[in-house]
Chain A
């Protein structure tokens, strides 16, 4: 499973406008296309916020992987958001978060979810890749950076 497969529909938002955690999450969820995969965005947002209440998904190094499982999701989906200025996301290292990878998946399916998490964790490990993503000029640039990085693994 590649990152671009997870970002079906090439869901990338460079230049998130949200100024805090809630606004960023709303913006990311609003970027999900309602259709066969996502049937109710508000319910999906509730699931993501609920998960965030348990513990922040800001894993440090400027990255957050907000995620949620919901009955209103029929297939794994994802959105990549980038905010160059960073946002306080209650990250584990206490530093601002710049890269947000939202993952939503159905309640009863774990396989694709964990495959996606593994892929994201593997790719975002590289400092160079993270810096390039943060510096991406626009959505197309970010997609090109991801595609280039995916060729390495």
Chain B
């Protein structure tokens, strides 16, 4: 099948110019001149033959001139044949093409014909066979990043395909599509083609806007998908319920997700704490649903410990194991700052009951040394603080320490608003509501408390009753400060802000020994709340040890060394790394982590650090993006979804501009010009 198209169709308006010779001819015919002549008898005989020849030549010239203009216009309009047989197999009109190849985790899905990625590689080979050496072909490997494979000939590209492998990252098509679009729009080639070879999971298209304009570009989506999705993934592993302490039981929460269309009642699951198995069971998960499983275990040693959860084999093994590294602190040091014993009594008692290492200081005795030794600091109703202490507290929090501020009777509101809160927790103290000691009127917490780590296990479900608050400050949160818990009347009671790596919380009523502001310190609510609060505040101090695949990781050095370390990936590849100074802290510059699992850093012939790399749970979701969404993204452009049983060339070649005719048209025009000049010249010479 053939078709004729024009690369510059606007030039065809020039065909009107082909009428010019005819118009000129008609205008000249009307201009007959009468000449007086003596005898026309001889001329009449001569005229009869010659005039016939002259008229014939004029008609020939008219046709030649018209054709000349037509051919010139056609040459500039660049006529091309379209269709599979237009010019051999791939055509000689140039093609600019970008091939996006999805190399994300979901492409590791196993099918009887190989993994989706292996199948994609075969498709890419087919696509490459559609190009000639003069074509501009670019391949972009995409996951959450874009890796261009440029500067290579078609032969080299074909040879490299075998070396590709699917990665562990999630897909994001946007950077790849933007790159392809910008590149193709710059190209002067008649054919502009985009190929997307992917499992077309909807996750990868979520960030792609409908506003990109694909005019003039043919888009070929080549889906490689399993017939039926059978996949369960370990989506999350974490400890819940506050602090991890040696010898104290902790709850492990595991979330499994079933991405299949059918329920799974037979998913074997095991969890390991370091290498000790702590759970073994079978999970039942509804179709397209998820299931949370819980188990209790007791950490026996402190330090960085590895949690690993495994489920049984399925068609996407890469998401069947998830590792997390959790820190079990040896001892948590809490500094309680208060000016009188009455101010610090209840809080220090609660902290000591929870086995924290508690130190009590008055505000004028706090030094850098004391602060640097503390994981968490509490300010108990302190009236004012010096600029030096505020500065030290800010540094403490920025570097990951926790700070709890408890308001009370002696608080200097103006000083807090202007000096303390402006630096540590953006908020304004407005007034005191209620009367300390007036126990007949009070505020309480609502029965339903928000879901927050500071409030876990202290829900007011009958186990605890709400404390009564006879007096409290009215505080307006500002900036990024958030109210975590409010009284039943909606007034904020507990506020939180993040400063650098650490947390700051503010409680609006006093915990003094007189109990004149509330009865909270003697309620059942107090002890678990203080325990949770302290654990939450210290979470910034316990360094993060879990990262997503694809991130660049820098680990705190932890030890004093200037010598090299050895980084071991989950695949046991070893790489030498050197400590670097980053800001005030020395780090191990690990770089981009591309494999999930446990990563280790050895220094001075011992294990110096441990961290976990996890796959994005979204990467396991193979739900297909809808055709309507693809249509919305690519708009009115030529979008073609190549089905599994279709040959790519059968779809592409019939649409492609094949042989171009502009050279032929130009040569024809030149030829006609010479013929016209010759005929015109002979006519003139005979007249002479």
Contacts and interface: CB of A to CB of B under 8 A. Distances in A.
Interface in A106-147: 110-115, 117-118, 121-122, 125
A55 B185 contact: yes
Contact of B215 (A55, A69, A151): A55
Contact of A121 (B151, B174, B185, B211): B174
A4 interface: no
B146 A111 contact: no
A68 B185 CA distance: 10
Given A51-B186, A92-B212, A122 B175 contact: yes
Contacts of A69: 186
B138 A110 contact: yes
B150 A112 contact: yes
B291 interface: no
Given A118-B140, A153-B552, A59 B212 contact: yes
Given A55-B185, A67-B182, A68-B186, A60 B176 contact: no
A110 B96 CA distance: 10
A122 B183 contact: no
A80 to B, nearest CB: 16
Given A51-B185, A110-B136, A152-B552, A118 B179 contact: yes
B147 interface: yes
Contact of B175 (A92, A93, A111, A125): A125
B183 A117 contact: yes
B138 A114 contact: yes
A23 to B, nearest CB: 22
Interface string A26-63: 00000000000000000000000001001101011000
B178 interface: yes
Nearest to A123: B175
Most buried by B among A110, A113, A151, A152: A110
B267 to A, nearest CB: 35
Given A59-B178, A115-B150, A152 B183 contact: no
Most chain B CB inside 10 Å of its own CB: which residue of A60, A93, A114, A115: A114
> Is chain B's binding surface mostly helix, strand, loop or mixed?
mixed
- In this complex, the member of A55, A57, A118 whose beta carbon has the largest number of chain B beta carbons within 10 angstroms is A118
Contact of A114 (B150, B172, B185, B207): B150
Contact of A125 (B172, B181, B213, B592): B172
Contacts of A151: 552
A72 to B, nearest CB: 16
A70 to B, nearest CB: 11
Contacts of A57: 182, 185
A96 to B, nearest CB: 15
A11 to B, nearest CB: 19
Contacts of B213: 55, 92
Given A93-B211, A152-B551, A115 B182 contact: no
Contacts, number: 78
B179 A121 contact: yes
Identify which of B151, B182, B213, B215 gathers the most chain A CB atoms within 10 Å of its CB. Answer: B182
Given A93-B209, A152-B551, A125 B148 contact: no
Contacts of B209: 60, 92-93
A19 B215 CA distance: 28
Given A68-B186, A118-B147, A125 B174 contact: yes
B145 interface: yes
B183 A113 contact: yes
B146 A122 contact: yes
A115 B152 CA distance: 13
Contacts of B140: 114, 118
A121 B183 CA distance: 12
A111 B150 contact: yes
Interface string A84-120: 0000000011000000000000000011111101100
A153 B592 contact: yes
Contacts of B98: 114
A38 B590 CA distance: 38
Nearest to B553: A152
Nearest to A108: B136
B178 A114 contact: no
Contacts of B150: 110-112, 114-115
Considering residues A51, A93, A122, which has the most beta carbons from chain B within 10 angstroms of its beta carbon? A122
Nearest to A111: B150
Nearest to A61: B209
Interface in B155-210: 172, 174-176, 178-179, 181-183, 185-186, 207, 209
Interface of B: 98, 136, 138, 140, 145-148, 150-152, 172, 174-176, 178-179, 181-183, 185-186, 207, 209, 211-213, 215, 551-552, 592
14 contacts: A51-B185, A59-B178, A67-B182, A111-B151, A114-B98, A114-B140, A114-B183, A118-B146, A121-B175, A122-B145, A125-B172, A125-B175, A125-B207, A152-B551
* A-B CB proximity, top 8 nearest: A111-B150, A111-B151, A121-B175, A118-B146, A92-B211, A121-B178, A117-B179, A118-B179
